[in-house]
């Protein structure tokens, strides 16, 4: 009886987390309308239905279908997430999928050998197995966005992969009373990790869509290179040239900024209540997310994005020269791939000559 209570409590806990995850991610979908968020939300609701219908023999066929549906939605959501970021899935990931059919059959044979139960093997184990294959594959696909979302994406892909792998012992020991509470505990823990990572990614600036009421007219291009290093005194001319264009700017001085621009004020002072678009100079990964999403959105609208930094000296105060150069080199690659422009306003008297030389050598 105590074991039964533990199993019921575990099932209810997992179901509760599933529903919470589905609602949280769906609320994010309503704000940004990204298909990946909708698919992930539906996946968690499918997992909830799989557990909710598993206790009734009459509804057992539905439960057996809901688990593969969960994996299908998770797989599709992962594909859409990578596609929305404009990333091509690595060939190494695709090659790993080729081993799935053989691995799946070996898994079924192993389950049958261990349980000696053909009905269990052909129903529950088969459902768990195909779900595990596609959920594990989803994790490997999500790994492709680590370069954009950094450590939080690592937690997500590791969590999804482990969730898929933990279904293997579920098929082997699922009939054992000792394993059922252990299985629910593992599921609950992994779902918490996955949901937390998903929500963090989807609430980041890099995940949000850029809203343009109408497509602006691009100014005539005058830059010979995708990266331009200018003196701060040239900024008024640049502001006038791009006054009606949605430039993404990271600034220390936000006075006389065109209304069409998206501006992030660089500061260490927490202005979160008064000023939403503030960013700390040490948050280089967050800046990378914002820039990448901006360039992808502009490219999807057949526009050439323009990224402006008028705070390089300030960034050098809070970051090492090496880390800042690496970051700017990464931004340069984003800009080149998106056919955009990167403008750096740097006062030569405010930085060391060696830094300017390295900046030109790496970026130009």
Q: What number is the average pLDDT over the span 147-173?
A: 86
Sort strands 278-279 and 262-266 into parallel, antiparallel or unpaired.
Answer: parallel
As a whole number, the mean pLDDT across the chain is 84
pLDDT at residue 170, as a whole number: 84
pLDDT at 211 over 60: no
Tens-place pLDDT, residues 313-344: 999 999 999 999 999 999 999 999 888 999 99
pLDDT at 305 over 80: yes
What are the structure tokens assigned to 54, written together? 């598993």
pLDDT at residue 273, as a whole number: 42
Tens-place pLDDT, residues 57-109: 788 788 889 989 999 999 999 998 888 776 777 777 778 778 888 888 898 89
Least confidently predicted of 82-91, 130-139, 218-227, 247-256: 218-227
CA neighbours closer than 13 Å in the CB half-sphere of residue 184: 21
Q: What number is the average pLDDT over the span 209-217?
A: 56
Greater confidence, 106 or 177?
A: 106
pLDDT at 2 over 50: no
Neighbours of 360 (CB within 10 A): 11
The model's confidence at residue 217, banded by pLDDT at 50, 70 and 90, is low
Q: CA angle, 30 as apex, 29 and 31 as ends, to 5°?
A: 90
| 8-state DSSP, 253 | -
Residue 76's alpha-carbon distances to 18, 34, 89, 208, in angstroms, are: 18, 13, 13, 19
pLDDT at residue 219, as a whole number: 66
pTM above 0.75, yes or no: no
Q: What number is the average pLDDT over the span 275-302?
A: 83
pLDDT at 290 over 70: yes
Length of the chain as a residue count = 364
Q: What number is the average pLDDT over the span 195-211?
A: 78
pLDDT at residue 216, as a whole number: 62
pLDDT at residue 223, as a whole number: 67
pLDDT at 19 over 50: yes
Classified by CATH at the fold level, domain 227-363 comes out as 3.40.220
Determine phi and psi for 266, rounding to 5 degrees.
Answer: -85, 115
Strands (E), 158-296: 227-230, 248-251, 262-266, 278-279
pLDDT at 45 over 90: yes
């Amino acid at each position: 009886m105590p074991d039964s209570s533990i199993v019921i409590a575990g099932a209810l806990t997992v179901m509760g987390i599933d529903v919470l995850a589905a609602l949280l991610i769906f609320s994010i979908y309503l704000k940004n309308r990204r298909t990946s968020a909708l698919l992930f939300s539906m996946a968690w609701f499918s997992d909830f239905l799989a557990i909710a219908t598993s206790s009734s023999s009459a509804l057992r066929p539905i439960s057996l279908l809901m688990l593969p549906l969960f994996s299908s939605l998770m797989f599709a959501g992962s594909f859409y997430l990578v596609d929305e970021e404009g990333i091509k899935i690595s060939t190494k990931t695709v090659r790993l999928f080729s081993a799935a059919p053989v691995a799946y059959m070996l898994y079924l044979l192993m389950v049958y050998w261990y349980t000696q139960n053909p009905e269990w093997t052909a129903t529950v184990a088969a459902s768990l197995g195909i779900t595990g294959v596609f959920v594990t594959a989803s994790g490997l696909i999500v790994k492709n966005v680590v370069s954009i979302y950094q450590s939080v994406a690592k937690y997500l892909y590791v969590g999804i992969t482990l969730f898929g792998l933990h279904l293997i012992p579920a098929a082997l020991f699922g009939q054992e009373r000792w394993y059922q509470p252990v299985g629910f505990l593992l599921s609950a823990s992994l779902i918490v990790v996955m949901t937390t990572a998903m929500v963090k990614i989807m609430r980041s600036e890099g995940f949000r869509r850029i809203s343009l009421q109408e497509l602006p007219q691009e100014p005539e291009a005058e830059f010979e290179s995708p990266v331009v290093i200018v003196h701060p005194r040239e900024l008024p001319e640049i502001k006038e040239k791009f006054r009606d264009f949605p430039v993404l700017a990271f600034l220390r001085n936000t006075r006389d900024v065109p209304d069409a621009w998206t501006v992030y004020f660089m500061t260490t002072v927490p202005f979160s209540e008064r000023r939403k678009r503030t960013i700390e100079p040490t948050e280089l990964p967050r800046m990378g997310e914002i820039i990448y999403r901006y360039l992808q959105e502009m490219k999807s609208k057949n526009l050439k994005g323009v990224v402006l930094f008028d705070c390089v000296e300030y960034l050098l105060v809070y970051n090492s020269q090496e880390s800042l150069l690496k970051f700017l080199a990464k931004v340069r690659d984003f800009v080149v791939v998106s056919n955009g422009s990167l403008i750096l306003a740097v006062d030569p008297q405010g930085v060391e000559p060696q830094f300017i030389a390295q900046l030109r050598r790496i970026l130009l």
